[in-house]
Amino acid sequence: MKLYQFLKENLDVLKETSPGLHAWLWSQEYDMQTLETSIFQNEHGTLDWRMQNGQGLFEPAPPVAYYNAWQPGEKAEQSATVLIGCNLGYGVNHVLMTTPPSHKVFVLEPRAEMLLACLGQTDYREFIRAGRLRFVAPLESELQEMVRGLDLQFLFGRVVVREDLPSRQIGPEYAHWIHRCRARLESFSVEMTTLRLQQDTMVGNELKNFARAANDGSLMPLKGMGDGLSAVLFGTGPSLMRFTEHFQGTPRALQVSSLQALPSLQKNGIKPHFCLAIDYSTGMRQIFKRLDADAARDVPLIYSTKMDPKALAAYPGPTIPLWTLGGLSTFVFGGRELVLDAGGNVGVTLLRLLDWMGVRRVLLVGQDFACPGDTTHAAGHHGSRDVAQVAATYNTMVTDASGNPIRTSPQLLAARRDMEDDLARSTITAFNLYGGGSPIRGATPVAWDDVEAKNLLDCPPESLRAFGSALSRAHMPRPRPVFEARSQMWTNSLRHVERRLAKLFKKVEKRQRDINQALADVEVFVKQDPLYSPYLFNEIMDLSGLIRARTRYVPTDFKDIKALFSRILAKVREMDAALAPSSAEAA
């Protein structure tokens, strides 16, 4: 029996299609002689892998015992399977054989020798070239890229994560990567759900705020101005109220908070240097029922341009825009403005903003990411509720630093993971004034005595004054960019395609491929405009679903396609009204 007969051919294809994986593979240490001698035929007649303890992976039970239960389930055509561990390929081959050709299969194998063993036993070239099978390097960057490519499967099908149980016998890295994969997928699920449901609202708000944002200034004067400063980042967790007395009076460090936390801080005599708002919902208007308007008049608000315009208009103090990814700004400003990946949690956004400003030491206060007491938020927060009232939302149990169970939500867990990932990547030294919440990896837990003993709030007064001056400069108006109207050109193009599709649908059974190609051409056309495509996110996803998640078209689909084209054109006219030269003249 010839072992590794397909290794070279598979590696050649991976070099072309997955250079990141290929580079990782050749950076690893492994012994080809060990690879040869580790594969053997066990007493069941099964090709097996001998572990370091001398036992074969499949000596306790044959492959069929592990993989027969792996069935594709519903929506298999639109779905994907992620495998952690591949052994000699038994699980990979089972999934490929039991799922339809449109089903995507991703394989993350932590050990180079096991990946080579798998690649040596089966010819995967056809599957890899067709984009059906992808091997992923055990790197966070590669895992993130894989997860972000699963948007269509999330929206129109399912993403099934399979742990290769035999591989667990080899080492603990398999459990680690199954945990990391599920965490990434959970965070992405929250993000995709938000985008699908709220992208129209977010970018719609940005269009309405576009003219105002130019008049409100730019954050660029603040770049690097946090160098040498210590910062206190106030959250809205229940533990905030335990520590407010320590921050009353003249601040010793740069103090920042969310807009949501401002009423709670005001009630306790704390005035941050600025506050931040990223929430796009109309619920932000409720804050102003609790906000002391007079006390807020000299607290600058840095606001996401996706913020609800009416909530923004109600703020009594100076306002400075923050442009974020996923909207108009990536194309509009092209490096001339900060365009921040804001994430989905204001505490995470504040940390990223402080990092960009050059702050290198941060004390987290009230960043609980859980409910360490009986309430969800600090007293004074407009969303504070008794935990018992919202148990359906706070439906996940974690432990505090002492091992006691506390409630949290999937959204808060996703935000905590984002903050932990950011701390791992940045040069910020973070401390957590711990009040009983979910511990934050990368932030050293401290008590107030530690804060004083380590002088964590000390920073030069002149640096604080310089930051304040830069904050004032940031509020100076900027020229507003204008863009050529698109609606006439888009209308002509889509109407032309619509007429062609009308003819194709008259012979729908014979013209399936032509219909698919016509829709694919529309997708290319719609996605080619980086300024207008963010507002068309849902329409682009619907188009992708029509192209890739349909096995066949029926006559009634044409009505849905016409409605989709009408939605696209209505949004283009709305964008023209906000961005074209005529709107600038009106402003």
Residue 53 CA to residue 83 CA, distance in Å, equals 25
CA-based radius of gyration for the chain: 27
pLDDT digits (tens, 9 = 90+) for 128-187: 999 999 999 999 999 999 999 998 898 899 999 999 999 999 999 999 999 999 989 988
Residue 29 CA to residue 52 CA, distance in Å, equals 16
User: The tokens of 182 are what?
Assistant: 């599920």
What pLDDT band is residue 310 in, cutting at 50, 70 and 90?
Answer: very high
In this structure, the number of other CB atoms found within 10 A of the CB of residue 23 comes to 11
CB-CB contact of 448 with 243 (8 Å): yes
Residue 229 CA to residue 236 CA, distance in Å, equals 23
pLDDT of res. 391:
66
Mapped onto helix, strand or coil, the DSSP state of residue 486 is: coil
Angle at 507 between CA 506 and CA 509, to 5 degrees: 130
Given a cut of 50, is residue 40 above it in pLDDT?
yes
As a whole number, mean pLDDT of residues 351-374 equals 92
Given a cut of 50, is residue 190 above it in pLDDT?
yes
Q: How far is CA 405 from CA 89, 398, 420, 436, 441, in A?
A: 40, 6, 20, 11, 18
**Residues 6 or more apart from 393 whose CB is under 8 A from it?**
409
Given a cut of 50, is residue 206 above it in pLDDT?
yes
Output 583 or 201, whichever has higher pLDDT: 201
pLDDT of res. 587:
46
Sequence-separated contacts (24+) of 124-131 with Cβ below 8 Å: 124/6, 124/10, 124/13, 124/92, 125/9, 125/10, 125/13, 127/96, 128/10, 128/13, 128/14, 128/17, 128/18, 129/13, 129/17, 130/101, 131/104
As a whole number, mean pLDDT of residues 441-469 equals 95
In this structure, the number of other CB atoms found within 10 A of the CB of residue 179 comes to 12
Given a cut of 90, is residue 294 above it in pLDDT?
yes
Q: Which residue stretches of 437-507 are H helix?
A: 448-453, 461-473, 487-505
As a whole number, mean pLDDT of residues 2-21 equals 92
Angle at 134 between CA 16 and CA 121, to 5 degrees: 90
pLDDT of res. 520:
95
**Residues 6 or more apart from 351 whose CB is under 8 A from it?**
233, 362, 419, 422, 423, 428, 430
Instruction: Tell me how far the alpha carbon of residue 27 is from its chain's centroid.
Output: 29
For the packed helices 512-527 and 557-579, what is the interaxial angle rounded to 10 degrees?
Answer: 10
What pLDDT band is residue 318 in, cutting at 50, 70 and 90?
Answer: very high
pLDDT of res. 478:
83
Output 424 or 331, whichever has higher pLDDT: 424
pLDDT of res. 370:
87
Ranges 26-40, 120-134, 236-250, most confident: 120-134
In this structure, the number of other CB atoms found within 10 A of the CB of residue 458 comes to 11
What pLDDT band is residue 214 in, cutting at 50, 70 and 90?
Answer: confident
As a whole number, mean pLDDT of residues 499-527 equals 96
pLDDT of res. 334:
65
CB-CB contact of 271 with 261 (8 Å): no
Given a cut of 60, is residue 1 above it in pLDDT?
no
As a whole number, mean pLDDT of residues 467-481 equals 91
Residue 184 CA to residue 136 CA, distance in Å, equals 14
As a whole number, mean pLDDT of residues 308-318 equals 97
What is the residue extent of each domain of the chain?
A: 7-171, 199-473, 487-586
Q: How far is CA 471 from CA 156, 262, 293, 429, in A?
A: 45, 18, 20, 24
pLDDT of res. 113:
93
**Residues 6 or more apart from 476 whose CB is under 8 A from it?**
217, 218
Given a cut of 50, is residue 422 above it in pLDDT?
yes
pLDDT of res. 375:
67
